[in-house]
Amino acid sequence: MTDTTDPSLRSFIEVPPNHDFPIQNLPYGVFSRPDEEKPRCGVRIGDFVLDLRVLEHADHFRDTPLGDDHVFCKQGLNKFMSKGAAIWHAVRDRVSSLLRVDNATLRDDESLRQRALVPAENVTMHLPAEIGDYTDFYSSKHHAFNVGTMFRGPENALMPNYLWIPVGYHGRASSVVLSGTEITRPCGQTKADDAEAPIFGPCRLLDFELEVGFFTGPGNTLGEPISMAQAADHIFGMVLVNDWSARDVQKWEYQPLGPFLAKNFATTISPWVVPMAALEPFRCAPPAQDPAPLAYLTQSGAGGAPGGWAYDIELEVAIRTPSSDAPHPVCRSNFKHMYWTMAQQLVHHSATGCNIRPGDLLASGTISGPTEESYGSMLELAWRGTKPIQFPTGEERKFIADNDTVLMRGWCEADGVRIGFGACDGTVQPARI
């Protein structure tokens, strides 16, 4: 395998400086062309989409471990995800080679180039996989402490199990939507502290949750857990996630079984799945875990990962109100703050023998850092409504209002190379009542 993240690599396709999608990134997605409605799989390079179905039919993967198996003419990446790390790396190696400035195979074949490269502005993006299951974790210690402090005080902020297990719940896969999809304000039951009975109506405390999620690879057979040493072979790539939250609905409903209607109405993800190989240069040591995790969650055997299972991914959230000319940044955080790592989330999820399947989505939970500007939700940023966020327009927000747009961005950057995740945006529409 060649080093596909080498900062010196250049593509024959011109990619502007600081672009999210240089040749070192090569994220996967599912798109449809203007001349063909059927979705297929592609790779993003600069302002173009490389149609992998075209390359597949032209036999450009035949002499790789993928062979004659057609996986890119599907309406999701699930079949490719199921192939495992060796094939993922081989395909990435081939795509990178074909796009390089010194490789004439695609560069000088005008017919192939015309068929394989589509301007990104002309395509329609689709969900990158058929998501069978969606699990949301609660893996930011800073976030858990902040929320616990609001409701139970700092001395009881973390629940007794928090430092021992990656806490999570099963979300609703059917309402995972792509960036740009409008979000309808949900309705549900809420109850004021001094009210005798609950009422039904639109959520008043609508929030965003800054998260990062990962798609799973081959998965495991029912009854056979995934070990920490195997985790790297089961994590395909990452996307940005906004797991919208109806805070007032959740307050009333969450005991004893946790969130339900407060979380099932929408989860927004970015369309391009950044492969783990592209993020390899940005591995870093995770926060110290005290007490030490139980043996099955110990990270020393995490696939031989140099530097650990944390990643230095810069994250930003901005809000554009109907009266503003530009989005106003409200949060700047980093994925490296997560207490529980992706590998630990995956291993714990399968510890019972639960079968993980190709294309399942596992999300981090709200990513908050140690400082106020790095808090990953309005609940924290406005501190339960007591510190409203001020906008340049003179407006203020305690939570998300109708017609507000929440914009999330994520990127890694080093040696002049930016690995970006693209857009994860959603505009809130009034409730339908």
Mean pLDDT over residues 200-206, rounded?
Answer: 98
User: What is the rounded distance in angstroms from the CA atom of residue 248 to the CA atom of residue 189?
Assistant: 8
Residues 249-297 have pLDDT tens digits of 999 999 898 899 999 999 999 999 999 999 999 999 899 999 999 999 9
- Per the CB < 8 A criterion, the answer to whether 306 and 378 are in contact is no
Residue 10 to residue 15: CA distance in whole angstroms: 9
d(Cα 61, Cα 70) in Å, to the nearest integer?
9
Q: Among 60, 143, 328, 337, which one carries the catalytic annotation?
A: 143
- In whole angstroms, give the CA distance from residue 336 to residue 348: 19
- Name the region of 221 (left: φ>0; alpha: ψ -120 to 50; beta: rest): beta
Three-state DSSP at 137 gives strand
Residue 394 CB contacts under 8 Å (≥ 6 apart), including other chains? none
Task: Please write the tens of the pLDDT for every residue from 316-374.
Answer: 999 999 999 899 999 999 999 999 999 999 999 999 999 999 999 999 999 999 999 99
- Would residue 19 show up in a list of annotated catalytic residues for this protein? no
Q: Which residues contact 178 (CB under 8 A, 6 or more apart)?
A: 125, 126, 127, 268, 269, 271
CA distance 226 to 235: 11
All domains in the chain, ordered by first residue? 28-126 (2.30.30.230), 134-429 (3.90.850.10)
DSSP per-residue letters across 153-178: -GGG-S-TTTTTS--EEE--GGGEEE
- Model confidence band, residue 305 (pLDDT cutoffs 50, 70, 90): very low
Q: What is the pLDDT of residues 220-240, one digit of tens each?
A: 999 999 999 999 999 999 999
